[in-house]
Amino acid sequence: MITSNEIRSKRFNKSFRGFNQEEAKQFLVTIADDYEQMYSDNANLRDRIKLLEEDLKKYHRIEDTMNNCLILAQQTAETVKEQANNEAALLMKEYKHKISEMLMIYQEIIKRLNLFNSELKSNITGHLEMIEKNSRKINEMSDFFYNSDMKNVLENLEKLELTEQ
């Protein structure tokens, strides 16, 4: 690659119908200045490209890290969700079993209460029957002791006196 100094120091051979040397020198200076500016701009752009490429690499690493974090977060979420579902299923199974046991206990209590009520009813019925029998006996006895024959016996008893012998 040609440098700006090479352009400035370039000397042309003179020919028969030559050129205006001052005009040629001025033109070469302008070209050298423009070339130097372009070379400087090009160097600055290369530096800028290098910085941007480094930034791009850094952002690619950040992107890769973020993607890995996102994948890890998704996997963790799936694992947590699966564990929660498994735990919920176990709890549900356990509670179903406990509810089933409680229902069986309640059914047993109801059976026992029915049996108790039947026995109580039987006892009460037995007692009522005994009371009824006693009432009938009392009525029979009342009829017997309060009838007119008994009144006569009592009256005669009072009249009876004991005689001494």
Rounded percentage of the chain residues whose pLDDT exceeds 90: 62
How many CA atoms within 13 Å lie on the side-chain side of 112?
Answer: 6
Helix/strand/coil percent split, the chain, to 5: 85, 0, 15
Q: How confident is the model at residue 114 (pLDDT cuts 50, 70, 90)?
A: very high
The residue extents of the domains of the chain are 19-155
SS (H, E, C) 131-157: HHHHHHHHHHHHHHHCCHHHHHHHHHH
Distance of CA 88 to the CA centre of its chain: 8
The average confidence (pLDDT) of the chain is 89
d(CA 90, CA 132): 62
Taking only the tens place, the pLDDT of each residue in 52-103 is 999 999 999 999 999 999 999 999 999 999 999 999 999 999 999 999 999 9
Distance of CA 87 to the CA centre of its chain: 10
Q: How many CB atoms lie within 10 A of CB 121?
A: 10
Per-residue model confidence (pLDDT) at position 163:
63
